[in-house]
Structure 1
Amino acid sequence: MAVSARILLTCLPYYSHLVPVLVPVAKALQRAGHAVAVATAPAMADDLARHGIEHLPLPHVRTLEQLLADPAVLSSPGMPGAEDEEAADTARAREEPGALTKAFAGPLAGIFARDLITAARRWRPDVLVRECNEFGGYLAAVKLGLPRAVLDIAPGTAAHLPFLHDTLNAELAALGAPVADDPARPNDGLLASVVPARWYPEPVPSLRCYRPDDPGHDDFAPLAVAGLGTVAHTVVPEASRLLAAMALALGELPGPAVLSTGPGEWTGPRPSNVRIVPFAPQSRLLGRASLFLSHGGFGGVQEALRAGTPMVVLPLFADQPANARRIAELGLGVAVDPAEASPEVLGSACLRVLAPEFRGRAAEFAGVVRELPGFDVLAGDLAALR
Structure 2
Amino acid sequence: MARIIVASMPFAGHVGPMTAVAAALTARGHDVLAYTGAKYEQRFRAAGARWLPWQQATDYDDSDLAATFPPVGDGKGLRGGMANVEHVLLGTGAGQAADLLAEAARTPVDLLVTDHLAFGVALAGETLGLPWASVAVTPLPLESRELPPPGFPALPAKGPLGRARDRALRSVVHAVAGRVVDPMVNRMRAAAGLPPATGGMDGLLSRQLILAQGVPGLDYPRGDLPDFVHYIGRLAVEPTRQDLPPWWPDVADARAKGLPVVHVTQGTLDVDFTDLLKPAIAGLARERVLVVCTTGGAPVSSLGPLPDNVRAAPFLPHDRLLPLTDVMVTNGGWGGVLAAVRAGVPLVVAGASLDKPEVARRVAWSGVGINLRTGRPGAGRVRRAVRQILARPETAARARELGAKLTAAGGADAAATLLETLIPGRVRREGAPATPGVAS
Would the TM-score normalized by the shorter structure come out above 0.5?
A: yes
Spell out the pairing of 1:255-334 with structure 2 (5 A cutoff). 255-262=289-296, 263-264=298-299, 265-334=301-370
Q: Given that residues 224 and 258 in structure 1 are in contact (C-alpha distance below 8 angstroms), is that contact kept between their aligned partners in structure 2?
A: yes
**Shift in CA distance, 89/26, structure 1 to aligned 2, threshold 3 Å:** closer
Pick aligned residue for 1:246 from 258, 271, 280: 280
**Shift in CA distance, 147/101, structure 1 to aligned 2, threshold 3 Å:** same
Q: Mind listing any 5+ residue stretches in structure 2 that lack a counterpart? A: 143-149, 152-172, 256-260, 424-440
More off after superposition, 268-277 vs 310-319: 268-277
Deviations, residues 198-241 of structure 1 (Å, cap 9, x unaligned): 333253313112234585799855712211111111xxxx4335
User: Which residue identity is paired with 1:154?
Assistant: T
User: Which residue identity is paired with 1:371?
Assistant: A
More off after superposition, 157-166 vs 349-358: 157-166
SS at match of 1:69: helix
Q: Mind listing any 5+ residue stretches in structure 1 that lack a counterpart? A: 75-79
**Once the 2 structures are TM-superposed, how far is the Cα of residue 54 of structure 1 from its aligned partner?**
1.3
Q: Does 2:165 align with 1:166?
A: no
Pick aligned residue for 1:57 from 46, 53, 70: 53
Q: Given that residues 26 and 48 in structure 2 are in contact (C-alpha distance below 8 angstroms), is that contact kept between their aligned partners in structure 1?
A: no
Q: Does 2:404 align with 1:385?
A: no
SS at match of 1:199: coil
Pick aligned residue for 2:125 from 134, 141, 148: 141
User: Which residue identity is paired with 1:132?
Assistant: H
User: Which residue identity is paired with 1:191?
Assistant: I
TM-score, normalization by structure 2: 0.75
CA distance in structure 1 between the partners assigned to 2:65 and 2:103 by the alignment = 22
The residue that corresponds to 1:16 in the other structure is: 13
CA distance in structure 1 between the partners assigned to 2:104 and 2:282 by the alignment = 49
More off after superposition, 263-272 vs 340-349: 263-272
User: Which residue identity is paired with 1:353?
Assistant: I
TM-score, normalization by structure 1: 0.85
CA distance in structure 2 between the partners assigned to 1:249 and 1:63 by the alignment = 32
**Shift in CA distance, 366/66, structure 1 to aligned 2, threshold 3 Å:** closer
Q: Given that residues 136 and 210 in structure 2 are in contact (C-alpha distance below 8 angstroms), is that contact kept between their aligned partners in structure 1?
A: yes
Q: Given that residues 90 and 185 in structure 2 are in contact (C-alpha distance below 8 angstroms), is that contact kept between their aligned partners in structure 1?
A: yes
**Once the 2 structures are TM-superposed, how far is the Cα of residue 7 of structure 1 from its aligned partner?**
1.6
**Shift in CA distance, 89/252, structure 1 to aligned 2, threshold 3 Å:** farther
User: Which residue identity is paired with 1:207?
Assistant: V
**Shift in CA distance, 215/292, structure 1 to aligned 2, threshold 3 Å:** farther
CA distance in structure 2 between the partners assigned to 1:353 and 1:216 by the alignment = 28
The residue that corresponds to 1:197 in the other structure is: 216
Q: Does 2:204 align with 1:186?
A: yes
**Once the 2 structures are TM-superposed, how far is the Cα of residue 177 of structure 1 from its aligned partner?**
2.5
Pick aligned residue for 1:226 from 264, 270, 275: 264
CA distance in structure 1 between the partners assigned to 2:122 and 2:14 by the alignment = 16
Q: Given that residues 346 and 395 in structure 2 are in contact (C-alpha distance below 8 angstroms), is that contact kept between their aligned partners in structure 1?
A: yes
More off after superposition, 131-140 vs 117-126: 117-126
**Once the 2 structures are TM-superposed, how far is the Cα of residue 85 of structure 1 from its aligned partner?**
4.4
Q: Given that residues 139 and 213 in structure 2 are in contact (C-alpha distance below 8 angstroms), is that contact kept between their aligned partners in structure 1?
A: no
Deviations, residues 274-309 of structure 1 (Å, cap 9, x unaligned): 211111223442233111111001111111121121
CA distance in structure 1 between the partners assigned to 2:353 and 2:140 by the alignment = 11
**Once the 2 structures are TM-superposed, how far is the Cα of residue 339 of structure 1 from its aligned partner?**
6.2
Identity %: 27
CA distance in structure 1 between the partners assigned to 2:405 and 2:414 by the alignment = 17
**Once the 2 structures are TM-superposed, how far is the Cα of residue 130 of structure 1 from its aligned partner?**
0.8
